[in-house]
Amino acid sequence: MARIELNEIAHSYLRNPKGESDYAIKRIHNVWEDGGAYALLGPSGCGKTTLLNIISGLVTPSRGRVLYDGKDVTSLPPEKRNIAQVFQFPVLYDTLTVFDNLAFPLRNRGIEPSEVTKRVHEVADILDLTPFLKKKAAGLTADAKQKISLGRGLVRSDVAAILFDEPLTVIDPHLKWHLRRKLKEIHEQLKLTLIYVTHDQTEALTFADQVVVMLEGEIVQIGTPQDLYENPEHTFVGYFIGSPGMNFLTCTLEGNVAQVDGAKIVLDEKTAALGRKAQGKLELGIRPMYLEVSPVPVENGVPAKVKVLEDQGCHKIAVLMLADKTLQAMLPEGKPVPEEKAWLVFPPQWTRLFADGRLLK
């Protein structure tokens, strides 16, 4: 187990990168603490897998250093880094039995046969693979195969970290839930450093203590799931986390009032002051959960049209039009529901301002 430090990492797959757009990883500088469960979340193509491969050593970064417990491992190949990685598709040694598959990484490192047998049985036990140990790996189901891939990572007791590259993509939904819980259990039991790449927010939020959100080769925010939900530092985080995502409205400021196509939204003094100092395109953001909707005119209420009402079982989602902008609001159970017209209230404590995508604070 180790504390992994990424020091000013940048990577380009081109030999002579020119502009910023040639870089798959633009600048990453952060620390992955020992024993943490991290999720690396971002849209496809944002550099998640590249970053993971840099940590494991499959890719050597164009710039910067990778440190394991303070030791520079940037130029070391994966087998010398003592790291485990589980890939998107199950990777198996088809001709070997499940036992031999699990034993493979240990035998390659010259571990005593008795120790190998002991470790393999322990891991098979954790992953419920014991009944299959004598079977060939090739004939098993996709989730059993992925468990074997996972087991090959767990079987080495001294790994610095286990990296997961969207490991549940090929697994059936109901088994996904089961495997995810298994991972969580393993983390609690063994206190390993786990880094889990995904583009699925549910997966990230349920798995991780800390979620690292990436966008276009950069980390935009690191935080607990709650942090990301309540205090998104980037419009992308607001939009990506939560379902439905955060509402964003382009606005201009006049004193403490944000103007959105003629509608006036009152902000708190602190937020407005930050907004007046900021440069670039201003956007106002609010979570659908915090946007209050009233069927009758209220104080500070902004009139809007109701476009659609979606019943989601435990609550309703209202799609509203404010001038030509679309907003979504979550209507709690039991509250009066607007029909055609609604008055929106933006509670100042939940209304944020973003300049060029970044939160003002």
Strands (E), 201-266: 210-215, 218-223, 247-250, 252-254, 257-260, 263-266
The three-state secondary structure class of 269 is helix
Alpha-carbon distance of 93 to 140, in angstroms, equals 12
Min dist CB 137 to other proteins, Å, is 9
Candidates 23-31, 78-86, 260-268, 349-357 — which segment interacts with other proteins by CB under 8 A? Answer: 78-86
Is residue 255 part of the contact set for other proteins (CB under 8 A)?
no
Min dist CB 234 to other proteins, Å, is 31
Task: Provide the H-helix boundaries in 82-190.
Answer: 98-108, 113-126, 142-154, 173-190
Strands 194-198 and 162-165: parallel
Contact pattern from residue 10 through residue 49 relative to other proteins, giving x for each residue in contact according to CB under 8 A and a dash for the rest: ----------------------------------------
* Shorter beta-carbon distance to other proteins: residue 132 or 248: 132
Of the residues 45, 113, 139, 303, which one makes contact with other proteins according to CB under 8 A = 139
Candidates 52-60, 182-190, 196-204, 300-308 — which segment interacts with other proteins by CB under 8 A? Answer: 52-60
Min dist CB 297 to other proteins, Å, is 60
Q: What are phi and psi of 202, to 5 degrees?
A: -60, -45
Candidates 76-84, 187-195, 210-218, 245-253 — which segment interacts with other proteins by CB under 8 A? Answer: 76-84
In single-letter form, the type of residue at position 290 comes to Y
Q: What are phi and psi of 231, to 5 degrees?
A: -125, 60
Are 319 and 311 within 8 A, CB to CB? no
User: Closest Cα partner for 55 from 27, 85, 26, 33?
Assistant: 85
Footprint of other proteins on residues 80-109 (CB under 8 A)?
83-85, 87-89, 91, 93-96, 104-105, 108-109
Strands (E), 224-322: 247-250, 252-254, 257-260, 263-266, 282-286, 292-294, 302-311, 316-322
Candidates 79-87, 220-228, 338-346, 348-356 — which segment interacts with other proteins by CB under 8 A? Answer: 79-87
Is residue 152 part of the contact set for other proteins (CB under 8 A)?
yes
The three-state secondary structure class of 170 is coil
Are 237 and 205 within 8 A, CB to CB? no
Candidates 136-144, 181-189, 214-222, 229-237 — which segment interacts with other proteins by CB under 8 A? Answer: 136-144
Give Cα separations from 281 to 265, 325, 353, 354 (angstroms). 17, 16, 10, 8
* Shorter beta-carbon distance to other proteins: residue 67 or 91: 91
Min dist CB 15 to other proteins, Å, is 13
Is residue 60 part of the contact set for other proteins (CB under 8 A)?
no
Structure tokens at 117: 């047998």
* Shorter beta-carbon distance to other proteins: residue 149 or 201: 149
In single-letter form, the type of residue at position 243 comes to S
Min dist CB 333 to other proteins, Å, is 47
* Shorter beta-carbon distance to other proteins: residue 111 or 263: 111
Of the residues 13, 20, 45, 138, which one makes contact with other proteins according to CB under 8 A = 138
For residue 349, count other CB atoms closer than 10 A to its CB. 9
Which chain residues interact with other proteins by CB under 8 A?
Answer: 53, 56, 58, 77-79, 83-85, 87-89, 91, 93-96, 104-105, 108-109, 136, 138-139, 149, 152
